[in-house]
Structure 1
Amino acid sequence: MKFAVIGTGKTGGKVLEILDKDQIVGPFDSTNKPSAKELEKADAAILFVPGPAVEELIEPLLESGIPAAWGTTGYEWPGDLDAQLKQKNIKWLRASNFSLGMNIVRRCLNVIGQSSSVLTDPTFHIHEIHHVHKQDAPSGTAISWEEWLGKDAEITSERKGDIKGIHQLEVSSDTESIKLEHEAHDRKIFAEGAIWAAEQLVKEEVDPGFHRLSTIFDNIMKQL
């Protein structure tokens, strides 16, 4: 399977390290932008690009028709994108965090949020820590944690060193606390997850449209 790798930064670079050379189409970045014709040489695209770079990539990707796994946060996706993809019979997905372990955490957060009704006046605090070069705060993953929890939470952010990503939840009441933490030790987990996601998109079981990684992950879990 061949992958068009778009974005060669810290995480995109990990994708390139994992893939064999004959699996890579590109790679592409701001100095070597992909055309639809070049993208058609790949079975799927993997993108780790900042939000401002998305606009000029959407059109060539739509024209190429290949599946795409987007690791982009801090971007407001067009409201009609899902309809466009369905009309063109194209499959894309997006994720704020491609860690497959994070999807296990997501399922835990669903349970914690639903079960917290038995606690007396609980409060919810999500704290995220990332490297000093991360542009968005709070992280897209922290925002997703609140969504997965299904409760209003205080979200705080910290930027220091070269931390790959730490996300913490504390649920507190007057009588007890619950804590959950996920830490990324190596950006390789995001690259591995993106490759896995792109591989799922080429399967016939996945319908055209703009999916979340969580939907694809849960469907796979149901099959196990």
Structure 2
Amino acid sequence: MKVAIIGTGKTGSKVVELLQDSSPGIFNTTNPPTLEKLKKFDVIITFVPGTAFQNLLKLLLDSQLPVVSGATGFNFPNDFHATLIHKKLRWIHSNNFSLGINLIQPMLKALKKTSRLFADYHFTLHETHHVQKKDAPSGTSQMWQAWLGEKINITSERTGDVVGTHCLTLNLDFEKITLTHEALDRKIFAQGAIYAAHELLTNKNLEYGLLNFTTLVKEKISEEETL
């Protein structure tokens, strides 16, 4: 597949590394994308800040290409899903493209049943990221809380160049259960974005619109379980 990569920051540069043998198109502030340039590619992967992504929206739509977006600090307009359906486009967005972290969801599904066994319990979640990460709690922490289906006491730490660590603890009277995901390299996000791009091009069962990466992975896991 011919991939156009927009954004060569912390994560975008990792996408470039993983795809370097396939000669991707690389676009950034020194080599901005244009409609003419983008039409040479099959799919777009973009990792840019929210403000920059807002400025790219029209160009991305005009390209008529499927898009994988890892933009943070950005909320899509309420009618954007409908806009993509109308244009017969498929986009995948996520705040965390780690394939591994999506394996956490079925684990949290089991922890949701804690109240069936214990009357007194509470969850805590501590997340640690690099000092340049501005949002706190992280989108992943909020995603875990949504998966768990109840309020969690979330604490955030920003230090050094930590890629991302999330540690969920179930606190009981006489025991603790701890679930930790530690990102060792930002390539995990690049790997997931490339996986998403491949799905956009090859999975003909995907509907048009703004698709959720977590849902995509969940469906893939379910398919494998039925084999």
TM range (shorter): over 0.9
| Mapped partners of 1:40, 1:222: distance in 2 | 35
Corresponding pairs, count: 222
- Give TM-score scaled by structure 2 length: 0.93
| Mapped partners of 2:62, 2:134: distance in 1 | 30
Partner of 2:11: 11
CA shift, 1:36, in A, is: 2.5
| Mapped partners of 2:110, 2:52: distance in 1 | 36
Aligned amino acid, residue 39 of structure 1: L
| Mapped partners of 1:23, 1:215: distance in 2 | 30
Runs of 4+ in 1 over 6 A off after TM superposition: none
- Give TM-score scaled by structure 1 length: 0.94
Partner of 1:217: 217
| Mapped partners of 2:30, 2:136: distance in 1 | 27
| Mapped partners of 1:111, 1:3: distance in 2 | 38
State the superposition RMSD in angstroms: 1.4
Matches within 5 A, 1:40-55: 40-55=39-54
Deviations 1:171-220 (A, max 9, x none): 11323321100001111111111100111011212111101101111222
| Mapped partners of 2:187, 2:171: distance in 1 | 33
| Mapped partners of 1:138, 1:194: distance in 2 | 22
Unpaired segments ≥5 residues, structure 2: none
Partner of 1:88: 87
Aligned amino acid, residue 222 of structure 2: K
| Mapped partners of 1:120, 1:30: distance in 2 | 55
- Give the conservation status (yes or no) of the 8 Å contact 1:10–1:187: yes
Aligned amino acid, residue 184 of structure 1: A
Structure 2 residue matching 1:166: 3-state secondary structure: strand
CA shift, 1:22, in A, is: 4.0
Structure 2 residue matching 1:4: 3-state secondary structure: strand
| Mapped partners of 2:177, 2:22: distance in 1 | 47
| Mapped partners of 1:133, 1:140: distance in 2 | 15
CA shift, 1:81, in A, is: 0.7
Partner of 1:206: 206
CA shift, 1:28, in A, is: 1.5
Unpaired segments ≥5 residues, structure 1: none
Tell me the percent identity: 44
Aligned amino acid, residue 117 of structure 1: S
- Give the conservation status (yes or no) of the 8 Å contact 1:8–1:48: yes
CA shift, 1:21, in A, is: 4.9
Partner of 2:160: 161
Deviations 1:29-62 (A, max 9, x none): 2333222222221111111111111211111111
Matches within 5 A, 1:53-68: 53-68=52-67
Aligned amino acid, residue 24 of structure 1: P
Q: Say yes or no: does 1:78 pair with 2:77.
A: yes
Aligned counterpart in structure 1 of residue 115 of structure 2, from 98, 114, 117: 117
| Mapped partners of 1:150, 1:72: distance in 2 | 25
Stretch moving more, 16-25 or 87-96: 16-25
